[in-house]
Amino acid sequence: MSEHDTTMADPVLAFASLGLPAPTDSFKKEWAETQRSYRSAFGAEQLADISAAVRLGLFKSEAGAAITGVLPELRKNPALMRLAWHCHAQMSSSPWGGACEVSHWPNLPEALGEPGRLFYAAVLLTCVPAIRKFHAERGIPDDVSLDTLSDLELWTNEYKRLNGKWGCEHRGWLSNHFGGKLFKLGRLQFETHPFSGRFYVFRNKRDRRVAMFASPGLRFRSDGYFDGANGRHDPNAWESTFTCDTKTIRGNPVDPVRGVLKKELLELPAAEWTCVLAQFDPTLGVHIAATGPMTFEECGASFRRAAEFFPKHFPERPFKAFVCSSWLLDAQFEDYLKPDANIVQWLREWFLYPHRGASDFQHIQRVFDEKFDRENLAANPQKSSVQRAIVEHMKRGKDWLMGASIYMVDDLDWGKQVYRKMGAPRA
């Protein structure tokens, strides 16, 4: 069949041909819209675009050749060509916060082999001209543009490292880069999004101290973590309380050093405090790319750069705070690592708070590549200080828990541990 076979314009037939479950009604509607302008996603023009993207320097490894190497096989499959156009059309038309919901894109069966595993990587490469055009319109420097998009190579190589074969399975994450939502600025990556934490942050009008309270009705364990964290429930779990009126702010405060909620209530005079951050307020999410060591100085440079970059290139997207959720925000690392360790220095800059749904998954995934023996802890690698810390902590019967954090933009002074120097809020 030709790649232009009109039979595959029907999403039901296309999905059946690929061995996929029938598409949803909403997907059929989206499909009908993109197929009206159908052309080969891997035609001569797109192949030239892909070659140009590779030449730009997005790939410094064999990953680029692996992706371009499957294109002839993809072109032989009319159903895949239709799907490729659908995804390309959606992604290319949704820069900077557009509604390209890639979770609706189907997971391709393993029977398709390497072409199927690299299919979405190839689709994203066809979107490079569109996102590069958007970057240029916003005056974004070339080095930032290319560094941002190079995450495609990183995750393609990571798949090969973990599985011994080429593939790329992080289309959801990479849609942030190729949809114009996220930018890599030195060591760290940043994207604007609403604050998702169910917490209120207040600042004292006089001495600028910061206090964070949990929303009412949330369940916490006796240790101050969310009940159910890492699958553990506490029979003595308790519910947070919070009230705020013209006279008093009263609730359970967060311990910003340990990242847990205190059961003891704190009461503040409302006239002396201002709410500076609440759920759904605009924030700048911080992500730590898996590109090697995370030096303290490089992180500081990234924060300073981000504080200038977004107001300059996206003035319509103001933000109140930097926010981050990560295994590297587990305050328990301070109990095991040296004070000058990068992780400890990183922890001490943030105002920590408990992460809902926290687990040790990222600790194990990032440090041990998910190859971890929970039954025989001593059998696990203990070559690095972090590996030794994780094993020792678990030998003591304790959990590792990813943490969450804020860093108010007005407080940015990297290296000064501003929240620890502020001390606890005073009533």
Closest CA to 257 of 338, 325, 331, 330: 331
Band the pLDDT of 47: cuts 50, 70, 90: confident
Predicted local distance difference test score (pLDDT) of residue 351 = 98
N- to C-terminal Cα separation, the chain: 75
Distance CA 44, CA 58 (A): 20
Rounded CA-CA distance 259/253 in Å is 10
Helices and strands in the chain: count of H runs, count of E runs: 17, 16
Cα separation, 347 vs 386, whole angstroms: 14
**Per-residue pLDDT tens over the stretch 407-416:** 999 999 999 9
The predicted pLDDT at position 142 comes to 93
Q: Kindly tell me if the per-residue pLDDT of 115 is higher than 90.
A: yes
pLDDT tens digit sequence for 229-253: 999 999 999 999 999 999 999 999 9
pLDDT-wise least confident of 90-104, 129-143, 206-220, 381-395: 90-104
Per-residue pLDDT at 96: 66
59: pLDDT strictly greater than 90: no
Tokens, residue 68: 């371009």
Q: Is the pLDDT of residue 3 over 60?
A: no
pLDDT at 1: 45
Mean pLDDT of 335-341: 97
How large is the average pLDDT for residues 9-31?
A: 95
CA distance 174 to 152: 7
Which phi and psi angles does 193 have, rounded to 5°? -165, 160
CB 7 within 8 A of CB 13: yes
Task: Give yes or no for a contact between 243 and 251, defined as CB atoms under 8 angstroms apart.
Answer: yes
Mean pLDDT of the chain: 93
For residues 223 and 260, is the Cβ–Cβ distance under 8 A?
yes
Pairing of strands 403-408, 321-326: antiparallel
Per residue in 341-389, pLDDT tens? 999 999 999 999 999 999 999 999 999 987 899 999 999 999 999 999 9
Amino acid identity of residue 162, one-letter, is L
Least confident of 76-85, 89-98, 272-281, 291-300: 89-98
Tell me which DSSP letter residue 401 carries: -
Give this prediction's pTM: 0.92
pLDDT for res 272: 97
Higher pLDDT, 130 or 250: 250
> What is the pLDDT at residue 310?
97
- State the Cα–Cα distance between residues 176 and 186, nearest whole angstrom: 17
pLDDT in tens, 164-223: 999 999 999 999 999 999 999 999 999 999 999 999 999 999 999 999 999 999 999 999
DSSP 373: -
Residue 99 has pLDDT above 60, yes or no: no
Place of tokens 């409302």: 270
The answer on pLDDT for 51 being more than 80 is no
Average pLDDT value for residue range 126-155 = 94
Task: Give the pLDDT confidence score for residue 357 in this predicted structure.
Answer: 92
pLDDT of residue 144: 96
- Structure confidence at residue 43 (pLDDT): 76
- Residue 97's pLDDT is what? 58
